[in-house]
Chains A and B, each alone.
Chain A
Amino acid sequence: MNLIERVRKAERLSSDIYLIRIESERISSSASAGQFVNIKCPGPEVYLRRPISICSIDRSEKTIDIVFQVRGKGTRLLSDIKAGDTLDILGPLGRGFTICPEHKNILVAGGGIGIFPLLQVLKDHPAERKTALLGFRNKSAVVMEDEFNKYSTDLKIATDDGSYGIQGFVTALLQNAISEDRPDMVYICGPAIMMEQCVKLLKEKDIPCEVSMEQRMGCGMGACLVCACKTRSGSDWDYSHVCKDGPVFSGDRIIFESE
């Protein structure tokens, strides 16, 4: 298997968010919403690959987009990538979101960098109603509004400081949304605390949901067992592995930190 793929486009979306469009028949032809890729950052300073969600898949153009925030050494190196460069990429990896064609009304709730894997769910889902609730720190952190607008039927944005959209967290948006109307399925990705609160709200109303988890990874394919995530297993619990059993899990399976 050839892991080297060419970059078609590299773009800065905000002060610290970058988009890279990668030409890859291998990945675009088999990837589904919510899966991720494991990327070797160019340069010897960084040893491990970096897991990044697939944000958007263009199956006819045979490209995928990844969108990431510069957090440390690896993502900084990735932010220097230019069109025409090549990247060493493993993927598509993991288990993505479940798309049930019977669901007519779906909702995605994303916070910060957690919004990215949700775009392809909206693109792929045949539901009639698709609500997108996105949360950002402030106005300057808001990215991809047009894309989410295009693929949802109803988009609401919240910022922590109220500088754009509604002031507050995505959880508040979710609370409002589900008090008015009951989605068949909710897809969630964001900070752990946000996901935990969303899952709790939805559980009270018995609305099914899926969450996309994050954990530090090694191999990214289920062999090294470092990416553990506490999950329910019958009346007991176990450590599942985010890279293979996830990153997407049914909301009711995850045992969050504070439990």
Chain B
Amino acid sequence: MSNNINMSVEIAGVRLKNPVLAASGTFGFGREYSEYFDLSLLGGISVKGLTLKPRKGNPPPRIAETPSGILNSVGLQNPGVHYFIENEIPFLRKYDTAIIANASGNTVEEYEQMVEILSDADIDAIELNLSCPNVKEGCMSFGSTAEGIVNVVKRVKKYAKKPLIVKLTPNVTDIVEIAKAAEDSGADALSLINTLLGMAIDAKTRKPILKNITGGLSGPAIKPVALRMVYQVAQNVKIPVIGMGGISNGTDAVEFLLAGASAVMVGTAGLVNPYAWIETVKGIEEYMKETNISDVKELIGGLII
């Protein structure tokens, strides 16, 4: 990285060395991709969605390919928050990158406990997943109405000693209303979008491809929807917004920054290209050099209308 370019941004008091983070659920706890590149090159890592107790997740098949994207129905398979704290944080802390704990619960009480536990862990921020479409209870059901958001965020806020990022589902009628509800309830930042609820059918067998029948759509296919939502939300809240949905390279990331995101997350693209995360960092730098911009913060909300 050349010295005259400043890539660092700040999200709710957390300084990120660059605005590119790994999106939850696509990066595990970083171990696999650490064999491909130095995790310290990332602004941060949002780890696999955590729950109070270990979760087995949904039966397979859990993935279907769609035009320019995928549907997944993993269903929050994870070893539980305690395992994460004991076994995964020490590994991640070997790298100079922000650790964001993505947390889910079945009940408001579980969300409270998760936030309480994670507040004492060695992490940089908590990303409250109020948007997973693949589990029956909790999660998206809390995140799909303003009342649901207010209810959870207000109550967990009391336990939060770390910055609280609220992750929003796009499966709502009015994303701005939801975003404002989260801001008013005490969210320190917002991240969006989670996956769009979708479905794939195999005409030959007349069966759904996913065992769970429905799943969450991600990848380049959702980028226009994600950009629009990030733009609308950034226009209407004061807290920082982390944008994601289909970002595969630096240009995509710049588009989200211009739309108003203060940082971006890359997910699905990395499943196809394990270097997508670091190529996105490099791509933003190249864009800045080409356009003579020395501080990445100048790009945030820089859309010309």
Contacts and interface: CB of A to CB of B under 8 A. Distances in A.
A244 interface: yes
A216 B64 contact: yes
Nearest to A73: B65
A218 interface: yes
Contacts of A244: 32
Interface in A29-53: 40, 46-49
A1 to B, nearest CB: 6
A140 B167 CA distance: 55
B62 interface: yes
Contacts, number: 87
Contact of A46 (B65, B72, B219): B65
Tier of interface size on chain A: 20 to 34
Contact of B69 (A47, A225, A230): A47
A232 to B, nearest CB: 13
Interface string B255-277: 00000000000000011101000
Interface residues of B, number: 33
Contact of B32 (A217, A219, A229): A219
Given A40-B272, A48-B272, A222 B60 contact: no
A223 to B, nearest CB: 4
Contacts of B113: none
A48 B65 contact: yes
Interface in B57-97: 57-70, 72, 74, 77
Contacts of B56: 238-239
A153 interface: no
Contact of B28 (A216, A223, A229): A223
Nearest to B274: A90
A228 B77 contact: yes
B162 interface: no
Contacts of A46: 65
Contacts of B61: 215-216, 226
A228 B61 CA distance: 7
Nearest to A46: B65
Interface string B168-188: 000000000000000000000
A226 B65 CA distance: 12
B48 interface: yes
A218 B70 contact: yes
B27 interface: yes
A43 to B, nearest CB: 12
B25 interface: yes
A105 to B, nearest CB: 35
B141 interface: no
A55 to B, nearest CB: 24
Contacts of A228: 57-60, 62, 74, 77
Interface in A218-259: 218-219, 221-230, 238-239, 244
Interface of A: 1, 40, 46-49, 90, 215-219, 221-230, 238-239, 244
27 contacts: A40-B272, A47-B65, A47-B68, A47-B69, A47-B70, A47-B219, A48-B63, A49-B272, A215-B60, A215-B61, A216-B62, A216-B64, A219-B271, A219-B274, A221-B274, A222-B31, A223-B28, A223-B270, A224-B26, A224-B72, A225-B25, A225-B57, A225-B74, A228-B60, A228-B74, A230-B59, A239-B57
Interface of B: 25-28, 31-33, 36, 48, 56-70, 72, 74, 77, 219-220, 270-272, 274
Given A223-B27, A227-B63, A228-B57, 19 more contacts: A47-B67, A47-B70, A47-B272, A48-B63, A48-B70, A49-B272, A217-B63, A218-B271, A221-B274, A222-B28, A223-B271, A224-B25, A225-B28, A225-B48, A225-B77, A226-B72, A226-B74, A227-B60, A228-B58
